[in-house]
Structure 1
Amino acid sequence: MKVSQTLQENWKDEVVSFSFEYFVPKTAQGVQNLLERIDRMKELHPLFVDVTWNAGGASRQPVTSTNELIGKAQKLYGLNTCMHLTCTGMSQEDVDLALSKAYNSGCRCILALRGDALVDDEKWDPSSEKFMYARDLVKYIRAKYDDHFEIGVAGYPEGHPEQHDSEILIDHLKEKLDAGASFVITQMFYDVENFLSWVDRCRVKGITAPIIPGIMPISNYASFVRRVKWCEIAVPKDIMCALDSVKDDEAAVRDLGVDIMANMCKTIMERGHIYHLHFYTMNLEKSTKSIMDHLGVTY
């Protein structure tokens, strides 16, 4: 059953499910550590795992690629996988190769993204007129592979650095779904009220697909502050004040972070009637598992 269908069935009965996101490490030891972590975290029974896009190669430095990690998660650990795929820096041949490898590995789900500017570029610039935006990638995948791949897309309840008008972003989201995508994973957020309001506005505009909230655990004060500043994420005053009060105590930050995120998740489920949580693990397991333990949903 496809992710979107499973979610719709689960949500009718208020069945809680999870997914975990990983990124491609830059070293062989990092890859080995991640594979061991994925093996342990499969015991938490994720609905699927996804891996952020990195094609590999000397210019990008990792010793493995997204395709390789997806293949191992699928074949070695029997996990349902979702592969990130971006337009930026990708020719049609690059896209075809990535999709072919995903197909051959048994992956049945793609998260189609435009992507950010490449490291050496000051701003985003399309590398191909064929793939100007994520919706173009969605259309291409659907045309080439018909219904083989389920396609997810990104949602931006906090806005986007290149577009701060939330209504325009919702219109763009609907275009991606109308092009053939069937579910949405949001960027991280900490303002639940804003997220729930954004979901309501998406529904008013005719978006009926499952919207999965992206949950970023808080495990380190400095990285939290750096991340929200870089991504231009609003943090409610009460959360920021609470974290500021313990910022010099790493253990206290971790414990408070678990409480904050668990309470966020409870509110999303109780008021938003959304019962799937997508964890941005940052290739770590303790914070994610602690939040799940706090919610009482680990087995």
Structure 2
Amino acid sequence: MRVTNILNQNRETGTASFSFEYFVPKTSQGVQNLYERMDRMRDLQPLFIDITWNAGGSKSDNLTTELVAKSHSKFGLNTCMHLTCADMSHEVIDQALKEAYTGGCRSILALRGDAPTDNEKWDGAAGEFRYARDLVAYIREKYGDHFEIGVAGYPEGHPEEADADVMIAHLKDKVDAGASFVITQMFYDVDNFLSWVDRCRAAGIAVPIVPGIMPITSYASFLRRATWCQVNVPKPFLAALEAVKDDDNAVKDVGNQLVFDMCERILAAGIYHLHFYTMNLEKSTRAVVERLGLAPAHLRA
């Protein structure tokens, strides 16, 4: 069954599921480590995994399609491939989609992506795809319904557009172009996320909305990622981490509890799929999944 069908079925039955994101390592040893981690974490039975495209505006990343093909063929993981279109030609996009297709991939997360690193003032005019909705429409034109297409959602706005309601209108454009589901940017403010979901539904966005969950592995990485993504951290959440920030083990324990509490609230609100940004790490994500009771029964015994 296709991922989108299962997500819709979850809403009807109240059954929870989860997925993992992995990023493309920069070294061959990192790639090997990632394969080993995928192999270990597949025992949790995620609904799917996704693998990022090369960040920073690079025009190609064959390693992404290689990782996607291997995760599918060797580990039997339903794999979604990120694909960015900023400053990309049709030829590069066509090659990536062809490799995804032949590698057994059935899902694409279609993103605009970062501006090229050598052109901070890039506005999209030089490329053949200006926005993610253009990429969504192109994939639908070329491949019909072969690929499920996910797109990004921004519950707290975007660095280029602080008004979350404007971003909701852009999200509706992406869905109208053919997107099948939405995965959000990381967040820690559950109240804001749930309000944002309601506003998306009111705007006519009916596809599954999947919350992006960032586990906490250290105080420094937590602050860095929250700052970089410009997300709000509720005061009690931040205070709990600040109280133990000098004790790495305590940060992990408190962080796991905070993320667990977030996930419980999200599931209780009727959103039955969680997408974990693993940062290619295992322990914190595994701890939260197992504590939520979402791991297979034999791992919870």
Q: TM-score range by the shorter chain?
A: over 0.9
Q: Indicate conservation of the 8 Å contact 2:86/2:127, yes or no.
A: no
Aligned length: 295
Post-superposition offset of 1:118: 2.5
SS in 2 for 1:130: coil
Post-superposition offset of 1:2: 1.9
Query: What's the counterpart of residue 45 of structure 2?
Result: 45
Post-superposition offset of 1:158: 1.3
Query: What's the counterpart of residue 28 of structure 1?
Result: 28
Post-superposition offset of 1:113: 0.2
Query: What's the counterpart of residue 275 of structure 1?
Result: 272
Instruction: Name the aligned partner's letter for residue 118 of structure 2.
Output: D
SS in 2 for 1:131: coil
Flag structure 2 segments of 5+ consecutive residues without an equivalent.
297-301
RMSD: 1.7
Alignment of 1:19-168 (within 5 A): 19-54=19-54, 65-126=63-124, 128-168=126-166
Instruction: Name the aligned partner's letter for residue 251 of structure 2.
Output: V
Of residues 219-228 and 186-195 in structure 1, the stretch that sits farther from structure 2 once superposed is 219-228
Query: What's the counterpart of residue 285 of structure 2?
Result: 288
Once residues 166 and 158 of structure 1 are traced to their aligned partners in structure 2, the CA distance between those partners, rounded to angstroms, is 6
Q: Where do 4+ consecutive residues of structure 1 move more than 4 Å?
A: 59-62
Instruction: Name the aligned partner's letter for residue 283 of structure 2.
Output: K
Instruction: Name the aligned partner's letter for residue 278 of structure 2.
Output: T
Q: TM-score, normalised by structure 2?
A: 0.94
Q: Percent identity?
A: 63
Q: Could you say if the C-alpha distance between residues 106 and 61 of structure 1 is closer, same or farther in structure 2, counting changes exceeding 3 Å?
A: closer
Query: What's the counterpart of residue 226 of structure 2?
Result: 228
Once residues 285 and 65 of structure 1 are traced to their aligned partners in structure 2, the CA distance between those partners, rounded to angstroms, is 21
Q: Could you say if the C-alpha distance between residues 60 and 128 of structure 1 is closer, same or farther in structure 2, counting changes exceeding 3 Å?
A: closer
Post-superposition offset of 1:13: 1.3
Instruction: Name the aligned partner's letter for residue 188 of structure 1.
Output: M
Flag structure 1 segments of 5+ consecutive residues without an equivalent.
none
Post-superposition offset of 1:129: 4.8
Q: Indicate conservation of the 8 Å contact 2:69/2:103, yes or no.
A: yes
Once residues 60 and 148 of structure 2 are traced to their aligned partners in structure 1, the CA distance between those partners, rounded to angstroms, is 29
Once residues 17 and 190 of structure 1 are traced to their aligned partners in structure 2, the CA distance between those partners, rounded to angstroms, is 20
Q: TM-score, normalised by structure 1?
A: 0.95
Q: Indicate conservation of the 8 Å contact 2:155/2:192, yes or no.
A: yes
Alignment of 1:194-213 (within 5 A): 194-213=192-211
